[in-house]
Each structure stands twice: as structure tokens, then as C-alpha cells.
Amino acid sequence: MHRRWVLLTLLVSTLFMLVTSLFFKLTGTIDVVQVSIHYRLTGVVTFAVIWIAIYNNYRFFPRDYYVTRHFNSSPFLHVLLSGVLYGLVLFVLMIVMIILKSINTETTWLGVGFYSLMSMFFIITLSFLLGVIYMIYPKLNRLFYIVSALLLLLVPVLYTPSDTPGIVTHLLMLNPFYYLVNGMQQSVIVGHDALNHLGYHLYFLCFMGLMIVFSFALRDYVTQLRPNEHTKPINTEEDTIETPDEQIK
């Protein structure tokens, strides 16, 4: 179910990196501009992979739930496997960025691995939570699009952290997307201070723990409902609309 999205994410992201590097070589762009664009491109790719992973996972979750309940198992395994897959995709794309970046800036490999792992953890946790919410609230897509657009404006893609006051940067770091995107940017492009934020690491882990509590609380609520109480149309991979019973058939 994810192969088309995974391949498109890999191909499109790699193409953007190749075109950008080729453009810099042909035009002789100054180093400062190259670093700035690579910094933003790293953020865009990181945000895009996480967004695509969560979006696909929560859309597929109701179908997985109705299928796995007939075998007395949990849809969490599918979310876990897809989360690992997208985490590996993000790590591979960051390696491509490190190889293709025109300027020999410092790279913290430990940071790249760490934020890839944290991104995978974030994808799995939020996908499961939104998947359960999607079964209760069918109009989640609209809300997800709006919130995603706002989050994209808040992460350091259209701007750099140096453009914002220190107190604003600290407030923005409370956003998990900012934490992951900026952490990956610092690891790939800047190379220093990528892991020197112990307080934010602890905050992120506590935030994930809270999301896990919400996830299992809502899952227990959904399992106690009668089947017709959370039956709703579900968009399949081909964008057709079927009920869960029709999908199982």
C-alpha cells in the first residue's frame, strides 16, 4: 500500500537535490546562498517524509483495524512496519543530501541517525493516534490539512532560526515538527549543536509519552463501540469510497 508513495518520495526528493546541486555548479552561486538553500531543502524533505508517512498511515488505519480484528490481532504492527520504512527513507535521503551538497559543511552523523530514529518514533506514535481518531471523526482530513499548512509555516523552511529572536526560537522548539526538522538541518548542514538540547530531548520524549497514553485510551474506547458506531466511508489507495465491510469483502 505504501510502495507508490515511498518511491515517489525517494525519486522526487532526490531529483530536487540533484537539480539544485547542478544549478549551483552551472551558475556559480556564492557559498552563503548555497548553504541557505540546502538548509531549507533539508527541512522541506524532512517535513515532507514525516507528513506523507503520517497521512498514509492514518488513512489506512481503519481498514487495517477491521481486518486485524477478525484475526484477534492489532493494526499497530502495520503502523510500526511502515514507520520503520519511512524512517529508513528519511535516513537515505539525508545521506543523499550529504553527498550532493555543494559546500563541504560539517555533518554530525550521530545527529542524522538520532533524528531519523526520533522521526520514526514520531511517525509511529502520531499515526496510531490519528488513525484511532479518524475512526471516530471522519472529517479529520480537513483538519489535518489546515494544521499541516500552519506547521509548515512554523518550521524553519521559509526562514532560518537566526532570523528569529531567541525567546521565539525556544517557543517554536516546543513544536515537535520544529524539533525534528531543525535537528535534522543542524545535523546535516550546520554540524554543531545538533544534539546539545537536553531539555528539548526530554520534552519531546514526554510529549510522545503523552501521545501514547491518548492513543491507547482512545483505542480502548473504539474497541468498546459496536461496529456500526464507527463505520464510515474510507478513502482507499485508488481514491474510491467504500465502507469497512465492503473493504473486507
Q: What is the pLDDT of residues 196-233, one digit of tens each?
A: 878 889 999 999 999 999 988 887 777 666 554 454 44
Assessment of whether the complete model's pTM goes beyond 0.75: yes
* Distance, CA of 65 to CA of 72 (rounded, Å): 10
Termini Cα distance of the chain: 17
Domain residue ranges in the chain: 32-248
| 3 state DSSP class of 102 | coil
* CA nearest to 48, candidates 15, 75, 20: 15
Looking at per-residue pLDDT, the higher value among 45 and 241 belongs to 45
What is the rounded distance in angstroms from the CA atom of residue 193 to the CA atom of residue 67?
Answer: 45
Q: Each residue of 90-106: pLDDT tens digit?
A: 999 999 999 988 777 77
